[in-house]
Amino acid sequence: MRDEENNASSSSFASLLSSKMAGELEGVKKTLLNKKVYYENCPGCKVDLHKAGQRGLPIKELFTIWIVILGTALPISSLFPFLYFMIRDFHIAKREEDISYYAGYVGSSYMLGRALTSVFWGLVADRYGRKPVIIFGTFVVVIFNTLFGLSVNFWMAIITRFLLGSLNGLIGPIKAYAAEIFREEYQALGMSTISTAWGIGLIIGPALGGFLAQPAEKYPSIFSKDSIFGRFPYFLPCLIISLFSLVVAIASFWLPETLHIHESSMPPHDSYETLEAASDAKEGNESTPKENLFKNWPLMSSIILYCVFSLHDMAYTEIFSLWAVSPRKFGGLSYSTADVGEVLSISGFGLLVFQLTLYPLVERYVGPIIAARVAGVLSIPLLTSYPYIAMLSGIALSVAINFASVMKNALSISIITGLFILQNKAVNQRQRGAANGIAMTAMSIFKALGPAGGGALFSWAQKRLDASILPGDQVVFFVLNVIEAIGVLMTFKPFLVETQNT
């Protein structure tokens, strides 16, 4: 009887011990599953480990993103100050008023090319990594931007710009890269760096185009009319930008890859329980089907809004340059390419100061949606003042146009930065490249419409200087304000939705 009691007691103790050990083992397994697992040969895991131990402001990463984006943004906008004169020299426009019409098509060809291939490049970045797409895209700038500067006719200019846009697919992947290279607390600063570099590129590019185009006419003591820069008057700014992009392309070989690749890697642990937990976690992550991005409304709503404001910004960029260089008799400023470059250079400096000092604070306290909404509202009265600025002259004109240009670019970048943040929050890393590819495709379509529509609108406005309602360039800025107002209305719920996914 006593033996039976002892056996029962031993069995009960063993059962209790087994249950306790099983509970502890399950707890250990849960801890391991919840713990971040780093794979030894995974480039993305190496970046995550670096971020985990990083302290202080990531200056190196910020500078890297800034330089890559700058190298891509420069060729997009460098042609605007001299495009009017380039089209004139091609002798394709029969009347002076038609020059803006043809200029719009050259400006749109880049965006059309990018619209056709952005999703493809996003998928490539998700499959093979962000780094290869960044390197290839930067080398594309070197080749086709140089060829554009050597264009001898209208169609060569169209084709080289189209190929530049279609083969340079790094804008979407670099946004995904920026979302992955920074710690959580620096996400807003990282996205702000993208839009800052983009904005600065859209300022420095026109400045280079303005100061360096037609060098044989501006600097005859340095460049003769018989030199290559005399025979190709718009080659010098393209060459300078291409050389800069070449340096960026070579330096990009040393960029760290941020894509996680776990197929053939094992985590750096050797216990059976750790391996089992990591295997279970890996299996669960990779077997989860990818979300249909077109059903992700926080993503799609931010992309649609991004398209509306991109249409506005690209049309404004085209119109501003055409308006500034067009004659006074058509309501313009009669500026030279150098004058336009000077205005845009001052705008660039103001934009840099704003983005590095004020925007991160504004975004932290009010969020990206409120910041974008307020910037959109303030842009409307600012644009309304442009036709009246054209009535000024001398120092008053210089002060007014520089102040207005700085304000307009700062407000535009505030909107775009906020939308960058919303888009990358809406998806996880496995789909971030594809999501940014969709955004770039949609945005590029609207940006392709921007220069073409803006050029056609400006050309039409110059033919109705005596109209009783919104004469001349007043109708141009009125249409821009209508687009801006539509965008502002779309920043409210239920259309625009913010998600907390990372």
Rounded Cα gap, residues 404 and 301, in angstroms: 30
Nearest to 433 by CA among 130, 9, 28, 117: 130
pLDDT along the chain (502 residues), means of 10: 52 50 48 56 73 73 85 83 83 76 81 84 85 91 92 91 89 79 72 73 78 85 85 90 92 83 55 42 48 83 89 84 82 80 78 76 84 92 90 89 89 85 78 77 77 79 79 86 93 79 46
pLDDT of residue 273: 43
Could you give the 3-state DSSP secondary structure of residue 384?
helix
Burial-class residue 380 by CB neighbours within 10 Å (0-12, 13-18, 19+).
middle
> What are the extents of the domains in the chain?
56-259, 294-501
Q: Which amino acid is at 187?
A: Q
Rounded Cα gap, residues 335 and 327, in angstroms: 8
pLDDT of residue 79: 83
Nearest to 286 by CA among 271, 265, 268: 265
416, 491 Cβ separation under 8 angstroms: no
> Domain 294-501: which CATH class?
mainly alpha
372, 413 Cβ separation under 8 angstroms: no
Nearest to 174 by CA among 467, 422, 433, 361: 433
Classify residue 37 by its DSSP letter.
P
Angle, CA of 423, 405 and 474, to the nearest 5°: 100
The dotted CATH code for 56-259 is 1.20.1250.20
- Cβ-proximal residues to 349 (8 Å cutoff; 6+ apart), any chain: none
Domains 56-259 and 294-501 in one fold = yes
pLDDT of residue 433: 72
